[in-house]
Amino acid sequence: MAVRSLRGQIRPLEDAPLRPLEQARARREHLPYYLDLHPAVRFLLAVALVCAVSLLYLMQTSRVASENYRLQAAESRHTDLMRENQHIQLDIANLRSLSRIDDIARHKLGMVPVGNGYLYVQVDTSVVASATPPATQASGSPPGVVVGNNPLAAKS
C-alpha cells in the first residue's frame, strides 16, 4: 500500500507493526490526504450541492403552491355548499309557514275556518260495549283460535 505525502510524492507504507501511539500518529498524518481533492472536483461538488439544495427548495415551494390551490378549491366548494344549504333552509321555512298552509287550505282544499264555537259530541260507551260481544275461545280448539264476531280473529 502507498500513501501520498505533503509534496505529492507517493511513498510506500512500512509493513512493520507499529505500536498504538505510532499507529495513531500515522493515521493522523495520512488523514488530510484522504480528503485531498483537485480544485475542479471541489468546485463541481459545491455546484452539485447548490443545485441539489435549490431543487429541493423548488420542489417544496411547488408542493406548497399546489396544496394551496387545493385548499382554495375546497374552501370555495364549502362556501357554495353553505350557500346552497341556506337556500334550502329558506325554502323549508317558506313551505312550513302558517300563512302558506292557510292559503292552501282555503283555496286549494276549500276549507273554511270554524270560528270560536266548537261542538263536542258525547258518545255513550256502554252502548258501544254491549253492541260488540267479546270474543271467546271455542272448546276443544287449539289455543289462539278465537270464535266470535271479531273480524281480525283467526278462522279454523
- Residues 131, 125 contacting (CB under 8 angstroms): no
C-alpha cell, 8: 505529492
Q: What digits encode the pLDDT tens for the residues 123-132?
A: 888 776 666 5
Provide the whole-model pTM: 0.42
Evaluate whether residue 88 is within a structural domain: yes
Tally of domains within the chain: 1
Place of cell 488523514: 31
* CB neighbourhood size of 146 (10 A): 17
Give the C-alpha separation, 137 to 52, whole Å. Answer: 96
Evaluate whether residue 8 is within a structural domain: no
Evaluate whether residue 39 is within a structural domain: yes
Where residue 1 falls among pLDDT bands split at 50, 70, 90? very low
Segments forming the whole domain that contains residue 73: 16-98
Instruction: Find all residues with CB under 8 Å of 137, minimum gap 6, and list them.
Output: 143, 145, 146, 147
Q: What digits encode the pLDDT tens for the residues 83-120?
A: 999 999 999 999 999 999 999 999 999 888 777 777 77
Evaluate whether residue 113 is within a structural domain: no
Evaluate whether residue 56 is within a structural domain: yes
Average pLDDT of every residue of the chain:
78
C-alpha cell, 98: 302558517
Give the C-alpha separation, 41 to 44, whole Å. Answer: 5
Residue 35: name the closest of 23, 50, 45, 24 by CA.
45
